[in-house]
A = this chain, B = another copy of it.
Amino acid sequence: MLLKESYDRLKKQAKKDLGSNVVLHLLRDLYNQSAHYLEGVERKEIPSKVDNKKYFMFSLDAKNSRAVNSNLYLDDVNEVEGFFSAIEQNNYAGLASDVLTKLAYSVVITFISSIDLIKKGDIKTPGTYFEIFCGHMMARLLEVNPKTRIPILNLDRSATLPTDFIFDLGENRNKFHVPIKTSTRERVIQVWAHQRVLDGVYGLERFKGILICLSETKKDSRSHEVIEICLPTQWKVYQSFIARMHRVYYFDIPEKYSVLNSQEPRIPVLTFGDLFREVEELTAN
């Protein structure tokens, strides 16, 4: 099908030049195709156990999408089209951070929900797509493509280590370690451990760690009830004893993590839209 073809092209082009206009046009293309696909599809409100958040799911032929945050999802394809123009021009003037979060969320969840309906049980495509989308945004905002291997010099023989995205702004400028996950759960300790390795090899916080996540929602397969799975105490232990993450950005931010922003040890957990507002500060120096 057409969506699959465009997605395969996206993967190929993302490998070649992640921050390119070709990738942006494919992301736009995938959004438009999947928005069109979802046009007539029924939306069912589903019970939410998450404070102050409402969710629905797309439902077609007895197949259901994951939970979609009703407050973050924008229906207006033209509004999202404006977001793609803003990305292309790297000009987000007039777009508040909460609007940017909604726009980005809508782009991503539209494609991922379509995949949920088209290919039941496929978790790889949403994960890879989300990594490409966020990686593309970071490559544009930081004006450099990422690497996914770094040299390790401290062994008898030199070697390289596979990593998440590494954005290196150049000599004497900031470097970023950017893991990207649709959700974290118990696997999140890997993020801090990778940061620890970079701290060990290159010096403390020479690489600033930036974790980007979609959400922490889990939808019960029978009742469709939505919960958020958060482990804030474990995050604090990791931030205290493994390494320091510089930022965490969420598309659908859990309250239990956003409060970590004002506790000790501080973990700055913000919305994805906030990234656009502080990217200059992040890249200064």
Contacts and interface: CB of A to CB of B under 8 A. Distances in A.
Interface of A: 152, 154-156, 159, 161-162, 187, 189-190, 192-194, 196-197, 199-201, 233-234, 236-238, 240-242, 263-264
Contacts of A159: 233
Contacts of A234: 161-162
A21 B194 CA distance: 42
A182 B113 CA distance: 34
Dominant secondary structure of chain A at its interface with chain B? helix
Query: Sorted from nearest, which 5 A-B pairs have the closest CB atoms?
Result: A200-B241, A193-B193, A159-B233, A189-B193, A197-B241
Contacts of A154: 240
Nearest to A231: B162
Nearest to A160: B233
11 contacts: A152-B233, A155-B233, A155-B236, A156-B264, A159-B233, A161-B234, A161-B237, A189-B189, A189-B193, A193-B242, A201-B241
Contacts of A162: 234
A2 to B, nearest CB: 30
Contacts of A189: 189-190, 193-194
